[in-house]
Amino acid sequence: MRRLKGRLGLPLQALLLAFMLFAMFGPLLNLLIWTVAESWFYPHALPSQWGLKYWYQVFSPYSDVSGSLLTSVFIAVLSVLVCLIISIPAGYALSRRAMPLRVMFMLLFLLPQAFPNLTVYMNIARLFYQWGLNGTVAGVVLVHSVHGLMYSIWICVAAFSAIDPLQARASRNLGAGPLLTFWYIVLPQASPGIMAAGIFVFLESLDEFTGTFFVGAPDITTLPLLLYNASMSGNYQVSSITALILLVPSLLFMLVIHKCMRPEMLSKMGK
């Protein structure tokens, strides 16, 4: 019976592994095919004409992709700066267990995730229209920052919680003030976690569509908005190339996060 189970188990495991690989890489393979397909119509299983025509179109000087990419990166960088300016002191304060109402403050940063994004952004767009922030970079950055604070606050809290408090205490005993202790002892040790928080916010801002659509469009055009417009107009080649451009920094930064996120820091997440 054991041998029979073993014989049946190997094909089942191989079938499950093949299904998982297909589910993970099947859509990516379809995306890659569309990027080099110049003509692909039903009922053909593969493109009838291959080429790089749409790559030249996307990266031509007259294309909107380069401008949208620069706008997306600019907004993402500003969102990272806003989030880190708030998250570093807030994360350091919330990492202290003795802080009053600590759990309540941490849960407050989860509230944007507790409601449907569409409802939240529609109301934000109405308020921003009254305040003159609709269609501005500042309005889009504020929306992205509110959404990204959840990642940056919780990761920064975990990064500061992973630091041994005895090191800061020893620095204070040797005569260093609180600012010098934070700058030379605490901050360098928390920097991998802070870097990971910034990367998460950057990627979240770079891929954000709904908030940008309601607050920024049509004056602010980011790469996700351009992807949406291309796909809705049936230009699947341009939308696939745009999606691939958005995918590359995500993969690269995930490798950096894998190096920065230490096990002892992850164990402090949510504590």
Is the separation of the CB atoms in 171 and 41 below 8 Å? no
190 Cβ neighbours under 8 A, 6+ residues apart: 91, 92, 156, 159, 160, 162, 163
**Token pair in block for residue 83:** 């989030």
163 confidence band (pLDDT: 50, 70, 90): confident
pLDDT over 70 (residue 173): yes
Q: Average of pLDDT values for 92-115?
A: 75
CA–CA separation, 133 and 139 (whole Å): 5
How much of the chain exceeds pLDDT 90, in percent?
12
Q: Average of pLDDT values for 157-176?
A: 80
Q: Average of pLDDT values for 94-108?
A: 75
Is the separation of the CB atoms in 38 and 48 below 8 Å? no
In angstroms and rounded to an integer, the radius of gyration of the C-alpha atoms of the chain is 24
CA–CA separation, 32 and 42 (whole Å): 18
Residue 126 to residues 112, 140, 208, 215, Cα–Cα distance (Å):
17, 13, 19, 9
CA–CA separation, 83 and 92 (whole Å): 14
270 confidence band (pLDDT: 50, 70, 90): very low
pLDDT digits (tens, 9 = 90+) for 46-56: 888 888 888 88
Q: 49: part of which helix (H) or strand (E)? A: strand 49-50
In the DSSP assignment, the letter for residue 220 is -
How much of the chain exceeds pLDDT 70, in percent?
89
222 Cβ neighbours under 8 A, 6+ residues apart: 68, 71, 72, 75, 140, 208, 212, 216
pLDDT at position 7 is 56
pLDDT digits (tens, 9 = 90+) for 40-91: 887 777 888 888 888 888 888 777 888 888 999 999 999 999 999 999 998 8
pLDDT digits (tens, 9 = 90+) for 217-227: 788 889 899 88
Question: Domains in the chain, start-ordered, CATH in brackets?
Answer: 8-55 (no CATH), 63-269 (1.10.3720.10)
178: preceding bond cis by omega (within 30 degrees): no
Burial of 1 (0-12, 13-18, 19+ CB in 10 A): exposed
| Residue 4 or residue 33, greater confidence | 33
pLDDT over 60 (residue 8): no
Tally Cβ neighbours within 10 Å of residue 114: 8
Q: Average of pLDDT values for 16-21?
A: 80
